[in-house]
A and B are shown apart, each in its own frame.
Chain A
Amino acid sequence: AQSVTQLDSQVPVFEEAPVELRCNYSSSVSVYLFWYVQYPNQGLQLLLKYLSGSTLVESINGFEAEFNKSQTSFHLRKPSVHISDTAEYFCAVRESGGYNKLIFGAGTRLAVHP
């Protein structure tokens, strides 16, 4: 069975500063990895995903994540955050060969301050 650990429940940061949200996973098989974002009072939206190929994946709004198989990590980064990035971020994993069921981490609340 897979599991996901998000190492920080809350991350406060000032606007235009860099940020890293950490995610580690556990699985005995190959996995696909995802980051979802949840803005206040909304459902989750897919931010980016790693399926295969290049280990560095990017989103359209400047976030990136790198798959590190040896460290079983998929940390999310952004070099300069905006107030509008304030949201809760969820890392998720699923087996590459199994049913399409995502297992989510507990979430990291990113709070961007002016």
Chain B
Amino acid sequence: TAGITQAPTSQILAAGRSMTLRCTQDMRHNAMYWYRQDLGLGLRLIHYSNTAGTTGKGEVPDGYSVSRANTDDFPLTLASAVPSQTSVYFCASSDTDRDVGSYTFGSGTRLTVV
């Protein structure tokens, strides 16, 4: 089934450790996004990429980095995790040329930083 694959599904991480959340899409969408979802705050954009080789900062980029080496993969890295990064992380993609605003979301990664 075409879509977005996120891994891992969930993770418990010790504070200070690093971690990479993986995101892969098979739809050849040009744009990809990382959001975090927190109760009462909805989804907040962390980083985005409009095309392979380019990235940009969203609303809450501090403590996170991304790369977009090719069209399909958009990993999110936490260099030194802190408890405030406990959240559910969603990766999304869109074809900005063909379908305005229609994002395809992955199933999420639930991260707990202790």
CB within 8 Å of B: which residues of A?
4, 6, 9, 32, 34, 36, 41-46, 49, 51, 90, 92, 94, 99-107
A41 to B6, CA, bound (A): 13
A45 to B102, CA, bound (A): 9
Do A46 and B102 touch (CB < 8 A)?
yes
CB within 8 Å of A: which residues of B?
4, 31, 33, 35, 40-45, 48, 50, 56, 58-59, 90, 92, 94, 96, 100-103, 105-108
Partner of B106, one of A9, A43, A99: A43
Among residues of A, the one whose C-beta sits closest to the C-beta of B106 is: A43
Do A105 and B101 touch (CB < 8 A)?
no
Say yes or no: A107-B42 contact (C-beta < 8 A), given A100-B94, A100-B96.
Answer: yes
Do B101 and A49 touch (CB < 8 A)?
yes
B50 contacts across to A, CB distance below 8 A: 99-100
Do B102 and A49 touch (CB < 8 A)?
yes
B59 contacts across to A, CB distance below 8 A: 103
A4 to B92, CA, bound (A): 19
